[in-house]
Structure 1
Amino acid sequence: MKQILMLLLLCACCNVSAQKKLDNANLECQYQYIYVKDSLKKIMGEDDRLILLVGPKLSKCASYHSIQVDSLQENPKRREIFDAEFKELLRTGVQPRHKRMKAYVYKNLPEGKMTVTDGLTMQDYIYTDSLNNIDWTISDSTKTILNYTVQMATCNYRGHYWTAWFAPDVPVSDGPWKLHGLPGIIMEAYDTKAYHHFTLVGIRKVKDMPIVMSKAYVGTKKFEKTNRKSFLKMQRQYLENMTGMIKLETGIDLDPNSSRKVLTFQPLETE
Structure 2
Amino acid sequence: MKPIVFLFFCLLSCSITFAQKNDYIEATYSCSLSFDIDLFLNKIPVQERKEAEVYLKNSLDKGLILDYSLESNDSISIFKLIPKINNSQNEGSLIVEEMLAFDKLPTYKFINKKEYLKEIDILGKKFIIKEAIPIIKWEIQEDVKYILSKKATKAIGYIGNNPVTAWFFNDILLDNGPYLLHGLPGLIAEAEFNINNVNQHYVINSMSNKNKKVKVKFSKKAKIVSSEEFRSEIKKLQQNAKEDRVDLD
Q: TM-score range by the shorter chain?
A: 0.5 to 0.7
Change (3 A) 1:210 1:114: closer
Residues 65 and 100 of structure 1 are in contact (CA less than 8 Å); yes or no, is this contact kept in structure 2?
A: no
- How far did residue 233 of structure 1 move? 6.4
1:253 pairs, out of 236, 245, 249, with 245
TM-score computed with the length of structure 2 as normaliser: 0.63
1:47 pairs, out of 50, 57, 65, with 65
Paired residues for 1:16-165 under 5 Å: 26-36=24-34, 39-40=37-38, 41-42=56-57, 43-44=59-60, 46-65=64-83, 99=101, 101-102=103-104, 104-108=106-110, 111-131=113-133, 133-165=135-167
- How far did residue 60 of structure 1 move? 0.9
Distance 2:232 2:163 in 1: 21
**2:200 corresponds to 1:196:** yes
Change (3 A) 1:151 1:56: closer
Q: Which runs of 5+ in 2 are unaligned?
A: 1-22, 39-55, 85-96
Identity %: 20
Change (3 A) 1:158 1:105: farther
Q: Which has the larger radius of gyration?
A: 2
TM-score computed with the length of structure 1 as normaliser: 0.59
Determine the structure 2 residue equivalent to 1:229: 228
- How far did residue 168 of structure 1 move? 1.5
Change (3 A) 1:184 1:38: same
Distance 1:159 1:116 in 2: 22
- Structure with greater proportional helix content: 2
Number of residue pairs aligned between Structure 1 and Structure 2:
191
Change (3 A) 1:52 1:249: farther
Determine the structure 2 residue equivalent to 1:13: none
Distance 1:121 1:36 in 2: 27
- How far did residue 199 of structure 1 move? 0.6
Aligned residues: CA RMSD: 3.5
